[in-house]
A and B are shown apart, each in its own frame.
Chain A
Amino acid sequence: MINPTKADKIISGILESPNESKTIEFKPSIPWPSKIDQIQNNDKAQEIIMGILGMSNIRDGGKIILGIEKNAPGGKYIRKGMKKIDLKTYDQDLIFDYIRNFGEPEPKFQILNVEYDDKNFIVFAVQSFVIAPVISKNNKNLKKVHNATFYLRTDKPETKKVTDPSEMREIIDLAIEKEIELFSTRMQRIFQTLSHVPAPKSTREEMNKFAEELKDIL
């Protein structure tokens, strides 16, 4: 079992008013399969793997939180917490070893057992890819996870296989942007003098024009 930690500000904020979004996914309490071969027929575990792959390919990553259920279809999310028997099946190292093999490059994530409101929740905190987007790798014949595919978490919110050119474009653009950011940071370090060039200031006339656009709400 993973040692429990108290919910930090971000997790507390999410759990206080649970609402799914592009970067937040909720799941009910489930046991984690004790052997990698058992994932093959476990749809819930495969959905978590796809969620991790999908969140790896969006700019801000995301969090999958287990122990939350809907009170009815389309209804509110309820913080039920993890069942004690399920919670015991979570082993950080083992799960990390399982899941990282399903992505190339390996997806980056943490697994935590978080305490909130006298209940426990399993949190997968997924980081966005660093340079190259994560491609799925299914060498265990999982039913739900496709091989050599990009997964993406969308605004809907849902995790889906990329099938649309605009979704593919979004991932490529993000990779280019990250590369440029890295390059720009390096260049800035080399040419430190750039930072000493003062930015031009707005004239009074310019500032008035910007203020004029807001006069009905100021």
Chain B
Amino acid sequence: MSPANNRDQIIDKIKSKGYWEINIRPVVYNEQRVEKRSLRELVRSSKVELRGWDYPPFRDSGGEPYPIQNGIEKFIDWSNNIEFWRMTQSANYYHLLAIEEDWMEPAGLKYMHHLKNQKWIGVLGALYTVTEIFEFAKRLASHNIFDDSMTVDIKLHDLQDRKLIVESFDRVPLYDKVAKISEPWGFNKEILVADLLSKSAQFALDAFADLVFLFDWVNIPIDSIKNDQQKFLQGRI
């Protein structure tokens, strides 16, 4: 089977449940912005490796990203990490990422059996994902591929009746935080590269606060969330 067939199957699988859709790109289109032979190194040197799993995944038993007509692609289907991404010569980065909670084996739910067969998303998981997205965007931007400004577009699909859960035993749980919208959550922003380079973590916090608002979580303990984010970025536990 060709990579394109496998890829389409993975994309169908990702879209069969909840998923993140990420697009990072320049504001101005230039078909030849990045040389083809530089694309792999561009993504490799920008990937974020803060939790034992790369954002975006770069290498696995299936090898490194494979070439397509105008760029490179990679898909992966391992445990609850189901992902597909593409980076083109115009620096148009597109990523589909299954919500990992939707693919957790019952054994992986260990202390959260009550969530079996339910749609949910974890507070820390969501915070880490948006932080990784903006950190990756920042690292791409540091290669001077976007000129002065860039677009970061993030969507989260399949929110209807999804619960927001604190996936930690030593914290105050959240009660009745359920999203009631059928449309995907979206965060679309044109950002100055200089701003992103110096404030990527703040952009991620803004996006996170915007997302959890849909779960009716308004009084977010922002200092505590900020602390979690900083610990994550610094590799502290």
Contacts and interface: CB of A to CB of B under 8 A. Distances in A.
Interface of A: 6, 8-14, 16-17, 19, 21-24, 59-63, 110, 112, 117, 123, 125-128, 155, 177, 180-181, 184-185, 187-188, 194-195, 197-202, 206, 209-210, 213-214, 217
B168 A9 contact: yes
Shortest 8 CB-CB contacts between residues of A and residues of B: A61-B235, A188-B198, A199-B190, A199-B149, A14-B52, A209-B29, A60-B49, A185-B198
B170 A6 contact: yes
A13 B52 CA distance: 8
A10 B191 CA distance: 30
Contacts, number: 132
Contact of B237 (A8, A13, A181): A8
Interface of B: 7-8, 11, 23, 25, 27-29, 31, 48-54, 59, 70-71, 78-79, 84, 86, 88, 90, 92, 94, 108, 110, 122, 124-125, 128, 142, 148-151, 167-170, 189-192, 194-195, 197-199, 232, 234-237
A185 B236 CA distance: 21
B195 to A, nearest CB: 6
A142 B234 CA distance: 29
Contacts of B237: 8, 10-11, 110, 112, 123, 125
B108 A16 contact: yes
Which DSSP category, helix, strand, loop or mixed, fits chain B's interface? mixed
Contacts of A14: 51-52
A19 B86 CA distance: 24
Given A214-B86, A217-B11, A217-B94, A10 B27 contact: no
B186 to A, nearest CB: 14
A23 B49 contact: yes
B194 A9 contact: no
A202 B151 contact: yes
B15 to A, nearest CB: 10
A9 B52 contact: no
Nearest to A202: B27
Given A10-B50, A185-B198, A213-B90, 11 more contacts: A9-B122, A12-B110, A19-B52, A21-B54, A22-B49, A127-B236, A181-B197, A199-B190, A206-B27, A206-B28, A214-B92
B29 A13 contact: no
Contacts of B197: 181, 184
Give the most central of A19, A184, A194, A213: most B CB within 10 Å: A213
Given A128-B235, A199-B149, A199-B190, A210 B52 contact: no
Nearest to B94: A214
A107 B40 CA distance: 31
